[in-house]
Amino acid sequence: MERIQAWLAGYGLPAPVELSEAGVAAALAVAALATGWLAGRHLGTRITELLARRTGGIGEGLGPRTAGIVRHSVAALLLAVILAAWPWHPLADLGLGIACGAAAAMLVVAVLRGLNMPRWAAWTLASLAFTAILSHAIGGFSVVETTLDRVGVQVGARRFTLLSALTFGVTVLLLFAGVRLVNRMLAHSISSARGFDATQKLLFQKLAGIAAVVMAFFIGVDLLEIDLTAFAVFSGAFGLAIGFGLQKTIGNLIAGIILLMDRSIKPGDVIVVGDSFGWVNKIGVRAVSVITRDGKEHLIPNELLMTQEVENWSYTDRNVRVRIPVTVSYDCDLAKAQELMLKAVVDSPRALTSPKPTVRLSAFGVNGVEHEILCWISDPEGGVGNVRSDVLNRLWLMFKDAGITIPVAQREVQMKPGATNSPDRRTDHKQA
């Protein structure tokens, strides 16, 4: 046996002990991968269904990947335990390192893609995770770290190396992914909380998102060991420049927070700002999204809503009164005409029966008797023009059946005796 081992060692081949150990390690790796597959198939499916019920069927990217995340995480955990539980020979370490690194890399891809991270970022971090785990398994991690630390440049008292650049990039990507994950968890918790209306929930979500970004910034500064005192000389000038350059941005941010706090404008409100009429779709950090009846989306700066006059049709009550002017001739039956006006507005599907619609005689006009139909609607986001059109179309048919005429302006020309036909000697009179 010793001669066989010596002969194999002379040709650089592994000894039978190493081969048998590698076989055991391969069997354990297959068992770990199979366990991960079973966990993803059964436990992952149950977790996916639970998330679907809790989030109303919205998985938000992570839900459909839950089974894969469970599968890869269980396999990577078991392989890491197997790798650290025994002093394996190099051949077994290589096989276990490849399996554990591959499982960890697939876990990284599943999580980051579930958080809508770019594909290049997910696969870059997965490659780094695979390389780090494999090099650690075969005992070459310190060699890789030392090699990366040797390549760099000296800038003043600080040295920038490939290792520091790689550490900086990985830290930023992980913090970015962590902020997205925390924002989603907080958004779910706040949206499912009771006792708050939609505007308060939106405000808390915005404040929680800002707090998550600030916390990630300070965590990143601590992890990267960035000395902020080095920027003390430039902080005053830089802050002044930021104050002037981002004056409008900060103003819109503060105005948006104020709008959410006083709830003067809420998502779903129907507002009129200048020539823009529509309902509020979203209140963002910089602007409010207003969708018009034409399907156009107007982005109105928050600061503009604080300084200009805004009509909010649904601030305290969603009921809006619609005025429909109607004129009938002097020789018609006014009582019958007013009865038909009231019937036309009652038959309109969007007109409310409470408050009751009314018909008012507003004036004795030049061409006819002027009336005003007043009715209420509870869905101002649907517009008021189609309500007027529906009522007037119904009224037109009713007037024709009842013989009620709508006056039109007529022009009468009177010729005085002895006058010529010259146009400048005409006298025009309007009458109904």
Read off the tokens for 338.
């007013």
246 confidence band (pLDDT: 50, 70, 90): low
Q: What does pLDDT average to over the chain?
A: 78
* Residues 320/313, Cβ–Cβ less than 8 Å: yes
432 confidence band (pLDDT: 50, 70, 90): very low
Confidence (pLDDT) at 114: 80
Query: Distance of CA 310 to CAs 252, 272, 297, 306, 313, Å?
Result: 16, 6, 17, 9, 10
Confidence (pLDDT) at 157: 65
Give the pLDDT confidence of 212-222 residue by residue, as tens digits.
888 888 888 77
Same CATH topology for 251-312 and 320-411: the answer is no
Specify the higher pLDDT residue, 248 or 374.
374
Choice among 59-68, 85-94, 342-351, 407-416 with the minimum mean pLDDT = 59-68
Structural domain spans, the chain:
9-150, 251-312, 320-411
Name the fold adopted by 320-411: Alpha-Beta Plaits (3.30.70)
* Residues 31/96, Cβ–Cβ less than 8 Å: no
Choice among 68-72, 159-163, 357-361 with the minimum mean pLDDT = 159-163
Please state the rounded mean pLDDT for residues 29-54.
79
Specify the higher pLDDT residue, 15 or 188.
188
Confidence (pLDDT) at 419: 56
* Residues 388/374, Cβ–Cβ less than 8 Å: no
Question: Which regions of 200-283 does DSSP assign to beta strands (E)?
Answer: 270-273, 276-283
54 confidence band (pLDDT: 50, 70, 90): low
- Assess whether pLDDT exceeds 70 at residue 187: yes
Read off the tokens for 142.
């310190």
57 confidence band (pLDDT: 50, 70, 90): very low
Please state the rounded mean pLDDT for residues 370-378.
91
Q: Under CATH, which number does the domain 251-312 receive?
A: 2.30.30.60
Query: Distance of CA 8 to CAs 1, 3, 71, Å?
Result: 11, 9, 39
What span, in angstroms and rounded, lies between the C-alpha atoms of 88 and 27?
Answer: 14
Choice among 11-20, 249-258, 290-299, 312-321 with the minimum mean pLDDT = 11-20
140 confidence band (pLDDT: 50, 70, 90): low
What span, in angstroms and rounded, lies between the C-alpha atoms of 307 and 148?
Answer: 56
C-alpha 155: how far from its chain's center? 42
Task: Supply the pTM of this predicted model.
Answer: 0.51
Confidence (pLDDT) at 323: 92
Confidence (pLDDT) at 398: 92
Give the pLDDT confidence of 96-136 residue by residue, as tens digits.
888 888 888 888 888 888 877 888 888 888 888 888 887 87
